[in-house]
Amino acid sequence: MNAPANDREKDLMGMGMSRLRKEDARFIQGKGNYVDDIKLPDMLHMDIVRSPVAHARIVRINKEAALKVPGVIAVLTAQDLKPLKLHWMPTLAGDVQAVLADEKVHFQMQEVAVVIATDRYAAADGVEAVEVEYEELPVVIDPFEALKPGAPVIREDLAGKSAGAHGERYHHNHIFTWDAGDKAATDAAFASAPITVRQDMHYPRVHPCPLETCGAVASFDPVRGELTTWMTSQAPHIVRTVVSMLSGIPESKVRIISPDIGGGFGNKVGIYPGYVCAIVSSIVLGKPVKWIEDRIENLSSTAFARDYHMTGELAATADGKILALRTNVIADHGAFDACADPTKFPAGMFHIVSGSYDIPSAYCRVDGVYTNTAPGGVAYRCSFRVTEAVYLIERMVDVLAQKLGMDKAAIRSKNFIRREQFPYTSAFGFEYDSGDYQSAMDKVLAAVDYPRLRAEQAQKRADPACPTLMGIGLVTFTEVVGAGPSKICDILGVGMFDSCEIRVHPTGSAIARMGTISQGQGHQTTYAQIIATELGISSEVIQIEEGDTSTAPYGLGTYGSRSTPVAGAAIAMAARKIHAKARKIAAHLLEVSEADLEWEIDRFKLRGNDDRFKTMKDIAWAAYNQPPAGLEPGLEAVHYYDPPNFTFPFGAYLCVVDIDKGTGETSIRRFYALDDCGTRINPMIIEGQIHGGLTEGFAVAMGQLLSFDKQGNIQGNTLMDYFLPTAVETPKWETDFTVTPSPHHPLGAKGVAESPHVGSIPTFTSAMVDAFAHLGVTHFNMPHTAFRMWHQLKAVGLAG
Ligand code: PCD
Ligand SMILES: [Cu+]
C-alpha cells in the first residue's frame, strides 16, 4: 500500500488504499437485495418439470392433473411456446437451445414444462402432477464415443446441416473445429526436434456453484407495454438486447435489473430457459412471475465448466529449450452449444496456451462435440478457456522437465519470455503487453527457500520409513483478461467495450454508473476509489450504481476479469473529461490561465502558490452556479472505452503437499501465491479476491467433479457430493505481489480475480504429481481426492 502523502489524501480514500468495502455495511447485516427478495403485488411463482432421463422422445404430456392442483394457474410446454416462436432460443455460441423440450429430451434435467401457480408450493405440487411419457433413446456421454460413425444422433434438429456457426461439421455430433497457430511450421519443428514429449489429460467437468442459484422476477405491464425483469445476470445489457430481439418489444421498453448477486463465477453470463419461461409467463398471464432455481437444478442444468480432453506435445532441445508446442482438444459442450465466449472464439482464449514461454512455433486445435449432458463450457473464474490452456502448458513443462531430469524452476527460467522482449507477440498472435516472469519466480523461490525444500524432499525420498510423500508444485502462469478490443471481441455482434457515466453534484458528492455488475467483487468500493483519486472527491461520498439497464450506460458486463481492464479504464477516462472541465472552471474562478494551474490531490492551485486554490468542492458548486461564459453548466461525463488490447496479468505459485502413504490423505503444507496485476486499486480487495480464487482452485483440483453414469444420470449434483470447501478444509494462503503496470491501460491496472483460480489448479496437480515423480509418474487427472490418491499409491506399490 502506498502511504497517503498527507491528511487530505488520506481523506480521499482513493486508489492504493486498503479501505473497507462500502457494500459490506448492507451485506453483513443481511440487508442485501437479491432477486429472491423482490416481492411484487399479485406475483405468481413458476417451477420447472425436468426430464428424469438423458435421451428420449416425448410421447405425450398430460397437464390435466396438474391443472387441478389448487393454486396452479397454467402449465406451459413447447407446444404453447411454438405459436410465439419461443420454443427454441439462440445461444451466445451461435447454436440454438430448446427453451422447453420440443418432442425430444437431450439431457437429464432438461426443461420439459413449466407450472405457474399462486405460490411456490403449489407450483412444486403442480410439477409433480404433470405426466410425461418418454420413449428412451440410446445415450452418449463420452465425446469420443459420440464421434464414432454409428453413434446415436443427438441433435436431430440439425439433420443435414453440414456447417454450424463456426464452420464445417464432419459428423452429426460434431459442433466445430477451431484451430490457431502455424501447423506446418509446428509439424516441421517436431519432425526435427531432438526431444519430444506427449501427455493426454482430462480437465474434468466442474460447476461454478455460486451460493445464490439463478432466478428471475419478470413483470410485464400490459397497459404500458413495458417489461421489467430482475434477474441474476452478469451481463444485463446484452440480455436486454436479446429479450427485445426475441420478443419484439422495443429495447426502450425492456428493463433488466441485476440486483445484488450472490456470486456469479461465470454461471450467470448465459441466458437460461428459466429466464425466458418466466418472461413469457408474465407476458401471457399479465402478472409478475418469479422463478428461483434450487441447488440440484443449478448444479445439473445451468452452465458447467471445462470438460476438455487435451493432448499436449512439446518439442525441445536436449538442454530444455522449447522449440514447439502442439495441442489437440476434444471439447464436450453438452447437448446444446451454449458456451459464453466472444463470438469469434468458440474455444475462448485457449490459444494463450503458449503461456509465459518464448515458443517459436505452436499449433492448437479444438473440436467441439455434442453429448447427452447439460450444455455449458463457461468461463468459471477464467477468461474463456484460459484455465484449461494454463493447465495444459504448465503440466507439459513439468512433463518435459521430468523427461530431461531438469528442475522445474530451471526449465522455466530457460524458456521465459524475458522482460526486455515485451511487448511480445506469441506464436498464436497475442501481443503480451508487459511482464516480468523471472523476477516474480525468483521472489517466490527465495521466500520459500526452494533449495531447502528440495533437500528435505530428497531426504524423505531416501527414507523408506517416511510415512508421507512430499511434493512441490511450481507454476508460472500468464492470463489474458479484459475482453476486449471490439475489433476482435463481440457478443452477438455487440462490441466488447465498457462504459462509465459520472455526475458530480453541486455540493461536491457524486454518482457514477457503469455497464458492469458486481457479484461480490467490491466494485462499489474500488470504482469509487478510482474516481476519488482522479477527481479529488472522497470515495465515501461517491455512489456507484450498476446493473439497471434503464440507468446505466450500455456495457458488456462482468466476467473474464474484464471490469478493471475495461470499465476501470472507462471510469478513469470519464473522470478525466470532468477534470478537464473543472480546470477551466478553476481558471475562471481564480482569474488565471489554465496553464498556470496545477492539480494537487483535491484542488487546482496556482502553480507554486499554496494559498490560491479552488477545491473540487468549490468547482462543483461553481459548475452549477457561475460557469465561465461559453461553458455548459453541470459537471458530468460519459465515456465508452474500447481497449486497444487485452491485459496480461501473471503470477508464480508454489505449493508443498504431504501425502499419507497409507491412506492417500493429503495435507497442503504451504501455498505461496505471488500475483502481478499491474497497478493495484485496493490491496485488501485484491487479497480477498486471491483468497477466493485460490479456494475455488483448491476445490477444483482436490475434489470437485460432475460426472455421468452410462445412462446419463448426473452424479455429484448435491452439496453432499459436490465439494465446496469450508474454512475447515481450506489451506492457509500466503500471498505476495510484484507490480508491472499495463502500458496501455490509463491506470496501468490489469484484472486479478481469475488469476488465482487459473494459476492454482495446475500448481496443486504439479505438487501432487511431484510427490510421485521419483516413482516414474508424470501425470494423473484431477480431482486429487484421498480415494483416488490411494489408488495412485497402490499403482506404484505403496498403500495396502
Ligand atoms: N489491479 C486491480 C485489479 C482488480 N482490483 C479489484 O479486484 C476486483 C476484481 O477485479 P477484476 O479482476 O477486474 O474482475 P471483475 O471483472 O471485477 O470480476 C470478475 C471476476 O470476479 C471473480 N471474483 C468474484 N468474487 C466474488 N465475491 N463473487 C464472484 O462471483 C466472483 N466472480 C469471479 C469471476 S468468475 Mo468469470 O464470471 O467465470 O468469467 S470473472 C470473475 C474488483 O473489485 C477490482 O476493482 C483491484 O483493486 N486492482
Ligand atoms: Cu474458462
Is 479 touching ligand 1 by the criterion CB < 6 Å?
Answer: no
Which pLDDT value is given to residue 4? 76
Structure confidence at residue 1 as a pLDDT band (50, 70, 90): very low
CA distance 83 to 80: 7
Task: Tell me if residue 607 is catalytic.
Answer: no
Identify the CATH number of the domain in which residue 285 sits.
3.90.1170.50
* C-alpha separations of 525 from 231, 266, 519 in Å: 23, 22, 13
Distance 516 CA to ligand 2 centre (A): 19
Residue 751 Cα: closest atom of ligand 1: 12
In a domain, 418, yes or no: yes
Same domain, 445 and 309: yes
What atom of ligand 1 comes closest to residue 563's alpha carbon? Answer: 16
What DSSP element (H or E) covers 670? strand 666-676
Identify which ligand lies nearest to the alpha carbon of 514: 1
Both 543 and 584 in a single domain?
A: yes
Q: Which of 50, 205, 381, 562 is catalytic?
A: 381
What is the tens place of the pLDDT at every residue in 257-283? 999 999 999 999 999 999 999 999 999
Condensed to tens digits (0 to 9), the pLDDT of residues 88-123 reads 999 999 999 999 999 999 999 999 999 999 999 999
The grid cell for 610 is 499554496
Q: Is the CB of residue 557 below 6 angstroms from any atom belonging to ligand 1?
A: no
- Is 266 touching ligand 1 by the criterion CB < 6 Å? yes
How many domains would you assign to the chain?
3
The CA distances from residue 219 to 74, 212, 214, 243, in Å, are 17, 21, 17, 13
pLDDT of res. 5: 77
* Same domain, residue pair 341 and 394: yes
| ipTM, interface predicted TM-score of the complex | 0.98
What is the 340 CA–ligand 2 centroid distance (Å)?
A: 10
pTM (whole model) above 0.95:
yes
Q: What percentage of the chain exceeds 70 in pLDDT?
A: 100
Bridge partners of residue 322, in order along the sequence = 316
**Which residue range is the domain that position 43 belongs to?**
35-137+213-261+268-301
Using DSSP's 3-state secondary structure scheme, residue 686 falls into helix
Q: Which residue lies with its CA nearest to atom 45 of ligand 1?
A: 526
477 within a domain of the structure (yes/no): yes
Same domain, 91 and 119: yes
Q: Is residue 462 part of a domain?
A: yes
**pLDDT tens profile 551-605:** 999 999 999 999 999 999 999 999 999 999 999 999 999 999 999 999 999 999 9
In terms of domains, do 238 and 340 share one?
A: no
Question: Is residue 2's pLDDT more than 80?
Answer: no
Find out whether the beta carbon of 521 lies less than 6 Å from any atom of ligand 1. Answer: yes
CB neighbour class for 60 (10 Å; exposed up to 12, middle 13-18, buried from 19): exposed
pLDDT digits (tens, 9 = 90+) for 728-761: 999 999 999 999 999 999 999 999 999 999 999 9
Would you say the CB of residue 450 lies under 6 angstroms from ligand 1? no
Residue 686 maps to a domain: yes
Q: Confirm whether 164 is domain-assigned.
A: no
Q: What is the dihedral of CA 137, 138, 142, 148, to 10 degrees?
A: -120
Length of the chain: 800
For residue range 203-255, what is the model confidence (pLDDT) as tens digits?
999 999 999 999 999 999 999 999 999 999 999 999 999 999 999 999 999 99
Residue 296 has pLDDT above 90, yes or no: yes
Domain boundary (301, 326, 352) is at: 301
Query: Which of the ligands is closest to the CA of residue 306?
Result: 2
Give the residue ranges of DSSP H helices in 638-783: 683-702, 755-770
Question: Does one domain contain both 15 and 53?
Answer: no
Catalytic site includes residue 754: yes
Q: Annotate 440-462 with b (16+ C-beta within 10 A) or e (fewer).
A: bbbebbeebebeebeeebeebee
Among the bound ligands, the one closest to the CA of 347: 2
Cα 493 to middle of ligand 2, angstroms: 21
Would 292 be classed as within a structural domain?
A: yes
As a whole number of angstroms, the distance between CA 340 and CA 378 comes to 6
| CA gap 397, 414 in Å, rounded | 11
Q: Within 13 Å of residue 268, how many CA atoms lie on the same side as its CB?
A: 29
Ligand 1 lined by 380 (C-beta under 6 Å): yes
- Residue 112 one-letter amino acid: V
Has 381 been annotated as catalytic? yes
What are the Cα distances from residue 195, in Å, to 77, 191, 278, 316? 59, 10, 58, 5
CA of 156 to the centre of ligand 1 (A): 40
Atom of ligand 1 nearest to the CA of 562: 16
Residue 751 CB less than 6 A away from ligand 1: yes
Residue 426 CA to ligand 1 centre (angstroms): 26
Where do we find the cell 526452494? 450
Ligand number nearest CA of 681 is 1
Q: Closest ligand 1 atom, CA of 747?
A: 1
Ligand lying closest to the C-alpha of residue 391:
2
Q: What are phi and psi of 702, to 5 degrees?
A: -100, -10
Q: Which atom of ligand 1 is nearest to the CA of 210?
A: 30
Q: Of the residues 234, 524, 529, 704, which is catalytic? A: 234
55 lines ligand 1 (CB under 6 A): no
Of 641, 663, 697, at which residue does a domain stop?
641
Is residue 524 in some structural domain?
Answer: yes
E-assigned strand segments in 479-587: 490-491, 494-495, 498-504, 510-514, 542-546
CB-based contact 232:559 (threshold 8 Å): no
Give the DSSP H/E element, type plus range, for residue 568. Answer: helix 568-590
343 and 429 housed in the same domain: yes
Nearest atom of ligand 1 to the alpha carbon of 518: 17
CA 230 to chain centre: 21
Which one, of 285, 354, 367, lies nearest residue 323 by Cα? 354
Quick check: CB of 264 below 6 Å from ligand 1? yes
| 66 C-alpha to ligand 1 centroid (Å) | 44
The closest residue, in CA terms, to atom 8 on ligand 1 is 521
Q: What is the pLDDT of residues 130-164, one digit of tens each?
A: 999 999 999 999 999 999 999 999 999 999 999 99
**Axis crossing angle, helix 683-702 with helix 755-770, rounded to the nearest 10:** 40
Domain-located, residue 666: yes
Residue 13 sits in the same domain as residue 76: no
- Ligand 1 site, residue 695, Cβ cutoff 6 A: no
Residue 377 beta carbon below 6 angstroms from any ligand 1 atom: no
| Centre of ligand 2 from the C-alpha of residue 617, in Å | 45
> Do residues 586 and 614 lie in contact, with contact meaning Cβ atoms separated by under 8 Å?
yes
Q: Say whether both 297 and 308 belong to one domain.
A: no
Q: Are strands 289-292 and 44-50 parallel, antiparallel or unpaired?
A: parallel
From 395, 457, 754, 788, the catalytic residue: 754
Identify the CATH number of the domain in which residue 19 sits.
3.30.365.10
CB of 690 shorter than 6 A to ligand 1: no
Pocket lining: 745 vs ligand 1, CB cutoff 6 Å: no
* pLDDT tens sequence across 625-655: 989 999 999 999 999 999 999 999 999 999 9
Would the pLDDT of 771 be above 50? yes
Mark which of 604, 622, 641 sits at the end of a domain. 641
Residue 670 annotated as catalytic:
no
Helix, strand or coil for residue 365? strand
Tell whether 579 and 593 lie within a shared domain: yes
Q: Are residues 755 and 770 part of one domain?
A: yes
Q: Can you name the residues that pair with 177 across neighbouring β-strands?
A: 367
| Ligand 1 atom nearest to CA at 678 | 1
Residues 629 and 734 in one domain: no
